[in-house]
Structure 1
Amino acid sequence: MVAAVIVGSCSKSGGYSSGNNNTPPPGTANAVSIVNMSFSPANLTVSPGTTVTWTNNDAMTHTVTADDNSFNSGNMATGSKFSKAFAAAGTYPYHCSIHAGMTGTITVKAY
């Protein structure tokens, strides 16, 4: 008896194919944690249309403030969340306005 095996290719991501690129599909939410006086990850690359959510997991108040002041979370107590949708490609540096050494960057890149 001879058995034939047919190997096919399918995508687990619902039709999104990125080859070897691990970039999430457009519109996927991404998270940044505020912990130990830092943003984690400090640098995040997303697709246009992605909403990024920052969560303050630190014991003190922080902000998420764009360097150009285009967005500002206001004071975020422990456990607070702030979300921002990024529609246009570009680089969006931000910082905590309370703690000068805390910085991060969102890079929006069309794939």
Structure 2
Amino acid sequence: MKKIYFFGIIIIAAVAFTAPSCSKSSSTTGGGGGGGGGGGGGTTPTIKILEGMTYSPASLTVKVNTVINITNEASVIHSVTSDDLTTFDKEVPSGNTVTYNCPTAGTFPFHCKFHAGMAGTLTVTP
């Protein structure tokens, strides 16, 4: 009986010491404040590539130097390629996310270089 009691205490202690390390982190990386600007927090702007050969949203507007996520939820590789072929060309394998820092203001129509008919617009404001 003493052995069962002893092992019970060890199991309870082990659970008590490991439980805090299993907690889910819910922190969000926020934007900084310098130069009288910037708020923090929020979600990262994201273009999702969906089954059915579509972008969601098809149009996205962000400020210069915003980092956006491009997430491919489809089952095949896609790209987000600027129509001018030089501003950006991001290939995104199925199930992956890539990022793009929007360094220049302007309106940039884009398409998937692998699948005709997929199109969208990225607008970057000063």
TM over 0.5: yes
Looking at structure 2, the residues matched to 54 and 99 of structure 1 have their Cα atoms a distance apart, in angstroms, of 16
3-state secondary structure, aligned to 1:97: coil
TM superposition shift of 1:73 = 1.7
Unaligned runs of at least 5 residues, structure 1: 1-13, 18-23
Equivalent residue pairs, number: 88
Letter in 2 for 1:73: K
What's the C-alpha RMSD, in Å, of the aligned pairs? Answer: 2.4
TM superposition shift of 1:96 = 0.4
The residue that corresponds to 1:7 in the other structure is none
Q: 1:68 aligns with which of 55, 80, 84?
A: 84
The residue that corresponds to 1:56 in the other structure is 72
- Which of the pair has more CA radius of gyration? 2
Looking at structure 1, the residues matched to 73 and 110 of structure 2 have their Cα atoms a distance apart, in angstroms, of 18
Letter in 2 for 1:91: T
Looking at structure 1, the residues matched to 75 and 106 of structure 2 have their Cα atoms a distance apart, in angstroms, of 32
- Normalised by the size of structure 1, how large is the TM-score? 0.68
TM superposition shift of 1:16 = 6.3
Identity %: 40
Looking at structure 2, the residues matched to 16 and 41 of structure 1 have their Cα atoms a distance apart, in angstroms, of 27
Unaligned runs of at least 5 residues, structure 2: 1-32
Letter in 2 for 1:72: D
3-state secondary structure, aligned to 1:73: strand
- Normalised by the size of structure 2, how large is the TM-score? 0.61
- Larger helix percent: 2
